[in-house]
Structure 1
């Protein structure tokens, strides 16, 4: 990719002004927002499980999981004590009766595999 330097992508696209190759992520971002993808998003994609990648994308005032400090989840839940939890931490605590290990933490929401 001429913007983020990635070598693999599910679909290659082109910059409409320079005709340079773009990865799918950069091409879609440019198409939808009319500007190039920011470095913080590129770094977050490169280091999917790195905790500092999510810190760069934090939104002040957004809800945050009291256990893993993520701000991104499909559903917010509450612990038995009333603390706000992300879906992953809430389901783990309800099923296993203990806090979810931080080693299981990732910063990406993945769709369910229905196959």
Structure 2
């Protein structure tokens, strides 16, 4: 009998993301037009947002996601600016995670307690 040999894939050491220039990714993607090679993070971001993923290189050389500091939001119910996730109310108002979840569960706005 003829011995079977498994095809050995060579590691693609020369891959580089066309957007953030990283060389390591769990999987590689192509842009929507198919020309640019993208890392998994940039490919997923571009697929969802239809624009390149914003990034910067930190002082220690790591690639970091650029988070906008000009887009300050306030919760329409409690006024907070700090939340792990922004949500939308039934009529489109911006809500913090706590107020959004409360509204979803109780179908009414979360009451704010005064600190008297």
Q: TM-score, normalised by structure 2?
A: 0.39
More strand by share: 2
Determine which structure has greater relative contact order: mean sequence separation of CA pairs < 8 Å that are 6+ residues apart, divided by chain length.
1
Q: TM-score, normalised by structure 1?
A: 0.39
More helix by share: 1
Q: Which has the larger radius of gyration?
A: 2
